[in-house]
Structure 1
Amino acid sequence: MATRPPDSPAAPSAPAAPGGRRRASHSLEAVVSEAVALLDEAGEPALTFRALATRLGGGVASIYWYVASKDELLDRACDHVLAGVLDEVAPASGSPDPLDDVRTIGVTLFDAIVARPWLAAYFLRDTDVQPHGLRLYDHLGQQVMRLGLSPRRSFDAVSAVMGYVVGVGADLGRQPPQEVLSGEVGRDEFVGRYADQWRALDPAAYPFLHYVVDEFAVHDDADQFLAGLDLLLAGLRLAADA
């Protein structure tokens, strides 16, 4: 917990704290919850101590009772969301096929990141204030351990799955172009423009793009994520069988 600077004004009507200082009237839970709300509404640029204090009905200095910096606030906001993800995936353990549990955990985390694009940037950034993130990582690792891989292979496997889930989730969670957001251009038309650009390229110079362009033109992002995750899990199954 951060300590308010001695020369900072006290929050109005706040109860006394040890040492004669006055303590802010809200709580760490309230501070973090409102930070998450701000992030969800307008992203990281909107999260300032001034905006947060306004929403909480106190002064900027009162925020420093609970967090020492914006970086810590962002890390705690991330962990607040991951606590919910961890609760959701808690039952994903002990299935006959451990890879089913790995898949469930991966898909649940992916959905959370797509819904909150800011989440990916702070995932496991500071485990000192992100215990739920660390527990989520360990929970996934426990399912991988059931495959009987070596410690190195298990570490590589969990890193690969987490990296794929967080990376693709962050990519798909990015805000679409304004013309798509406004409805001026539909998603299929937008993707179709790039498909047409690929078709116009020299097939000799870009053989792969020509090979997959018809699939690209009609692909669904979520389906493609699941297909990639299943490819990763298939590789893990081969490693475990070996």
Structure 2
Amino acid sequence: MAKRAPRRTDGLSREVIVRAATAILDDGGETALTFRALTTRLSTGYGAIYHHVENKSDLLAAATDDVVGRVMTGVVVDGDPREALRTVALGLFDAIDAHPWVGTQLSREPWRPALLAVYERIGGLLDELGVPEPTLFDAAGALVNYVLGVAGQNAANARLLTAGENDRAAFLTSVADRWARLDPGEFPFVHKAATRLRDHDDREQFLAGVDIFLAGIATLG
């Protein structure tokens, strides 16, 4: 019979539990996060965990708040709100790429502190950028939706490629080849875009989209 790992004797904090849950989520996704898996990883009992979190939903939300909170607190505004907005956007993109489950959780519970923090930071920076008050709400909503939508889709695509054991470069080459064979008379843009698709960088394309949004927002008056 296999020996059980010795039960830990030190006290557990909510932060330790949340970070352990994050590691499980990163390794196996949302289905892998169970209280049994968590007690095994932490070498503790159920009671010690339930003392800090109510259920799996509470744990998922707390882990999401933690990941997003670290992005928000890691951005230092140095007098250039435009650059700070790019930094926030890229930080969220990278965080969701590293933790794909975060994007799903943000869309599932939009009232959570994590999403409120994103809206507050992006809205505040747009305000500093001089966006007029009548259009500030719409501008912030549009930019937040772009950032989280593209980041979430990128993470989902990466997960599909991993699950199918496909290499990203090989996948893009395959799609680009199909696009290149399309009739340029019927699909002129897609036909021309085939070359760019093959070699494009996801993060650079994402930031280009942020810059396009900011350029449009700058015209609001």
CA distance in 2, matches of 1:54, 1:219: 42
Match of 1:49 in 2: 35
Percent identical residues: 38
* Matching of residues 178-193 of structure 1 within 5 Å: 178=162, 181=165, 186-193=167-174
Richer in helix (by share): 2
Q: What displacement does 1:61 show?
A: 4.3
Is the CA contact (8 Å cut-off) linking 2:93 and 2:151 kept in structure 1? Answer: yes
1:195-236 C-alpha deviation (Å, 9 max, x unpaired): 121222333433331132222122121211111111111111
- The answer to whether structure 1 residue 110 and structure 2 residue 93 are counterparts is yes
**Which SS does the other structure have where 1:238 is aligned?**
coil
Residue 233 (structure 1) aligned to one of 210, 214, 218 = 214
Match of 1:145 in 2: 127
* Matching of residues 47-196 of structure 1 within 5 Å: 47-89=33-75, 91-92=76-77, 94-95=79-80, 98-123=81-106, 125-126=108-109, 130-173=112-155, 174-178=158-162, 181=165, 186-196=167-177
1:142-199 C-alpha deviation (Å, 9 max, x unpaired): 1111234344421111112211111211222232525984xxx653332111112122
Amino acid at match of 2:95: A
Listed as ranges, the gaps of 5+ residues in structure 2 are 1-6
**Which SS does the other structure have where 1:167 is aligned?**
helix
Amino acid at match of 2:218: R
Q: Name the count of aligned residue pairs.
A: 213
Is the CA contact (8 Å cut-off) linking 1:199 and 1:210 kept in structure 2? Answer: yes
TM-score normalised according to structure 2 size: 0.83
Amino acid at match of 2:43: G
CA distance in 2, matches of 1:177, 1:145: 39
Is the CA contact (8 Å cut-off) linking 2:180 and 2:194 kept in structure 1? Answer: yes
**Which SS does the other structure have where 1:177 is aligned?**
helix
TM-score normalised according to structure 1 size: 0.76
User: Computing the radius of gyration over CA atoms, which structure comes out larger, 1 or 2?
Assistant: 1
Match of 1:3 in 2: none
CA distance in 1, matches of 2:171, 2:52: 45
Quote the RMSD (CA, aligned, Å): 2.7
